[in-house]
Structure 1
Amino acid sequence: MGRKVKYTYEFKLRCVKQVLNNHQTVEDVSKLQGCHHTTLHDWIRFYEKYGKKALLPRETKVYSIPFKIKVLEAIDKDSLSFSQACLEFNIPTKSVIMKWQRNYKKEGIIGLNHKPRGKPKSMQFKRAKKKSNKPLTREEQLLLENESLRAELDLLKKLQALIQQEQNKKQKP
């Protein structure tokens, strides 16, 4: 299941073309269409640099650590804004780079490792043995009975220890 897309490709293209072809202001189009003006600015920049394909919905991408470092170094060295870095390296949103920068300052290179979201793919736990339809052999029956008796004995020993502990507490004061 992919992520939810807020704006369709057709909607983005229509908004961008209203600004570029109809010579309307970004603010007017954003108010008319109901999207934020900075978002529309980003769409226009991406459209001008990468064409129509830049407005297509993107799959979530896992960026490599060297790529992340390259982006962060370019921001520092060339004094790029987050928006300029997004445009330069074709990254969909500024928040992605801001998160990399925050994690890099906090944890160093280790902070740039990909951290999967959500529940782990496989749970690490022991599964109960499946019961078979075959009747148990005499030896297997005795082993199960022996295990059951040992568990019962352990329980009785723990109960006896608790009772003794309670009696000792009553006698001391």
Structure 2
Amino acid sequence: MRKNRSHTAEFRLEIVKEKLRGISIRALSTKWKLSTSIIRKWVDHHQASGALGLLPKSYHYYTIEFKRSVIESYHNKGLSLRGCCLAFNIPTQSTIISWLKRYEKFGMEGLKVQHGRPCVMKKDKPATKKDAPITRVEELEKEILYLKAENDYLKKLDALTQAKQTPQRKKR
């Protein structure tokens, strides 16, 4: 089964209607080459929200209070991840799992919104050489490196032109 396929709401509704007609999830999975969990998810969302539950969901901003209520429902009310998704209209279980991990690791501070990837750059950078002025010795070393590179380039160019000019021997 391929991953990362997107399905239209009409296709999802067709699958759900087939399931409601009595076809098993396993048979639908085989017929349409879908995982059983995705079919089960579509059926659950259809039962909870109707046809609107099958529409693709775009990015949604969740407040800290909302996240806290979802986590409390999971811990205190004994709701499963799937139950939380249905009750709070959250598209995937992985969203709740990431909230739980951050809550367990950092507490309420972990539930604050993060935009983009976390910064991994070091805050205290050591001074680079560019900050300091170049001394005469460094300037001369830099010029020597440039001249050596230029000399190597010219030698290589000369070797290539000589190779082109010499007639190549025919192989027998």
TM class by smaller structure: 0.5 to 0.7
Q: How many Å apart are 1:109 and its aligned residue?
A: 1.2
Query: Within the alignment, does 1:14 sit opposite 2:14 as a pair?
Result: yes
| 1:66-81 alignment, distance < 5 Å | 66-81=65-80
When normalised by structure 2's length, the TM-score is 0.66
| 1:44-83 alignment, distance < 5 Å | 44-83=43-82
Cα-to-partner distance string for 1:100-132 (whole Å, 9 max, x where unaligned): 000111111111112122699xxxxxxxxxxxx
| 1:1-173 alignment, distance < 5 Å | 6-21=6-21, 23-117=22-116, 154-155=133-134, 158-159=135-136
Q: How many Å apart are 1:159 and its aligned residue?
A: 2.9
Judge which range, 81-90 or 106-115, deviates more.
Answer: 106-115
How many angstroms apart in 2 are the aligned matches of 1:55 and 1:46? 7
Cα-to-partner distance string for 1:39-87 (whole Å, 9 max, x where unaligned): 1111101101100011011111010000000000011111111001101
How many angstroms apart in 2 are the aligned matches of 1:104 and 1:69? 9
Tell me how large the CA RMSD over aligned residues is: 2.4
Uncovered stretches (5+) of structure 2, i.e. residues with no partner: 120-132, 141-172
Change (3 A) 1:110 1:5: farther
Moved over 2 A (4+): 117-120, 158-163
How many angstroms apart in 1 are the aligned matches of 2:99 and 2:118? 22
When normalised by structure 1's length, the TM-score is 0.65
Change (3 A) 1:108 1:85: same
How many angstroms apart in 1 are the aligned matches of 2:113 and 2:139? 50
* Residues matched between the structures, number: 124
Contact 1:5 1:57 in 2 (8 A): no
